[in-house]
Amino acid sequence: MKQHSCPKCATIITVNDNDKFVACPKCFSYHEVSASGIKFVSTFQLSNRPKEVCFDLGQNLVIKGLDYKITGITQRNDATYKSFKWREYNLINDLGEQAFLNEYNGNWLLVKPLAEQPSDYTSGNHTFIYDDIEFGIFQSYYQNVNWAIGNFDFDVTDSEKIYSREFIAPPKMLIFEVKKESKEKNPEWYEGEYVEADKIYQEYLKLNSGTGFPSKYGVGATEPYQSNFYFEDAKKMSLLALAALLAIQIFFLIISPTKTVFNKTFGVAELKYDSTNNFYTTPKPIVSESFTIEKSGKIKLELESSVDNSWLESNITLINESTLEELPILIGNEYYHGVEGGENWTEGSTSESKDYSSVPAGKYHLLIETSTPFISGTYAVKLITGGVYWINILILAVLIACVPTVLYFQEREFEKQRWADSDYSPYITEDE
């Protein structure tokens, strides 16, 4: 360890044995280290000093259980999209291991050199497997260095000649770096892992007054989606619930099968003209033969007629012959059709049905009164017992599906925000 005076401002700069370059923390001049001292190379512009730098040289941070010391700080930007700027804190731990703490829009990433190139990667790959995890390309770029201070064992400005590719599998990132002129030969690899901003903020509070910490914006490239309940969990539970619901309905169908207990067709010609209301109607209520509802539960009454550009309405009363309790049912058909503007149109239907639940078992008959404006055709009344309410099953199924559906779109929106700054976003085509 040696000390030298900055050739530009005379600030004392400490140089470590492995340092190859140093940047003065006062005047931001950049120097190359040699056996004879330090030699001026260039100066970083004062206007490039980032406001978002929240740690100082020499400070110690505990990150993921390890103690690190800050030896250098740089601000970099994408050479093409210069507004994309990030801060990089060079770190070293007690074992002499190097790492980098990167911050972009308040999102933090701890990066370490990777000893070996991922074996599954080949030049130009957009996806590959590493450590049994599939990584996908997130970004590729050339970078510029706006500003730097501290000690470095590499030429910081040489990074302007480096081409980088980032591959993500949150919370992990693999970073590929290669010299621009090498055409992806002899790359260097780094492995990054997401660090929660709150963890870094706690370290910040230990060292600073509590002001100037960068606010978090958007979703970090490696930020994991965190929730008490995830889409995949909800999907599995919903599928189990739907299977149970279906099994219950099948059980009820088995113990309560559908059965037609009344089915009769009547002629419209039997109706009498009602001059007061100007339509044909039943001269007196039709009393059906008796039938038996064997089990208490659901019934369905169906009315079907041959109406054509007309309507038919039946006022039907279901009467329990033991208790004399009555269930009035008003049901009707109307069916119209024609041609308008060269287009055929239809409205209504020639059939209708109504369901009722909890009808007691017993012996019943029907009183049927029917009205229609035309004296032709037939109408049929059918009563079916048993079965299940499929509409209720559909409603329950929709309700069950609501939870995983909401979670799916929440997670999807989170992923869209993650890929918002990527040139390889899988959502670009959808949004366009």
The domain limits of the chain are 1-43, 46-207, 231-252+392-431, 257-387
Closest by CA position to 336, among listed 310, 298, 362, 306: 310
Architecture per CATH, domain 1-43, reads as: Single Sheet (2.20)
pLDDT digits (tens, 9 = 90+) for 118-170: 888 888 789 999 999 999 999 999 888 999 999 999 888 876 578 899 999 99
Residue 431: pLDDT band by 50, 70, 90 thresholds? very low
Q: Would you state the pLDDT for residue 226?
A: 87
For 308-345, what is each residue's pLDDT tens digit? 999 999 999 999 999 999 999 999 999 999 999 889 99
Read off the pLDDT of each residue in 199-220 and give the average, rounded to a whole number: 88
Q: Say what the pLDDT of residue 391 is.
A: 77
Predicted local confidence at residue 29, as pLDDT:
94
Name, in order, each residue with C-beta under 8 angstroms of 343's C-beta and a sequence gap of 6 or more: none
Q: How far apart are CA 373 and CA 105, in angstroms?
A: 75
**What sign has the CA pseudo-torsion 396, 401, 406, 409?**
negative
Residue 89 pLDDT: 97
Gap between the Cα atoms of 133 and 124, Å rounded:
18
Tell me which of 3.40.920.10, 3.40.367.20, 3.30.450.40, 2.60.120.380 is the CATH number of domain 257-387: 2.60.120.380
Point out which residues pair with 150 in neighbouring strands: 23, 72
Cβ burial, residue 345 (10 Å; 0-12/13-18/19+)? exposed
Instruction: Tell me which of 53-67, 197-211, 281-295, 332-346 is least confident.
Output: 197-211
Domains 1-43 and 257-387 equal at CATH topology level: no
How confident is the model at residue 182, as a pLDDT? 61
Mean pLDDT of all residues in 239-249: 89
pLDDT band at 390 (very low <50, low <70, confident <90, very high): confident
Give the 3-state DSSP-derived string for 81-131, with helices as H, strands as E and coil as C.
CCCCEEEEEEEEECCCCEEEEEEECCEEEEEEEECCCCCCCCCCCCEEEEC
Q: Whats the size of the chain, residue-wise? A: 432
Render pLDDT for 61-79 as a digit per residue (tens, 0 to 9): 999 999 999 999 999 998 8
Q: Regarding beta strands 297-305 and 378-385, do their DSSP bridges make them parallel or antiparallel, or are they unpaired?
A: antiparallel
Handedness of CA 287, 288, 293, 297 (dihedral sign): negative
Q: Is residue 427 very low, low, confident or very high in pLDDT (cuts 50, 70, 90)?
A: confident
Tally of CB atoms within 10 A around 312:
28
State the Cα–Cα distance between residues 18 and 24, nearest whole angstrom: 17
* Residue 42: alpha-carbon gap to chain centroid: 48
CB 194 within 8 A of CB 224: yes
What global pTM score does this model have? 0.72
pLDDT(381) > 80: yes
Taking all residues of the chain, what is their mean pLDDT, rounded to a whole number?
91
Contact 92, 99 (CB under 8 A): yes
Cβ-proximal residues to 126 (8 Å cutoff; 6+ apart), any chain: 136, 137, 424
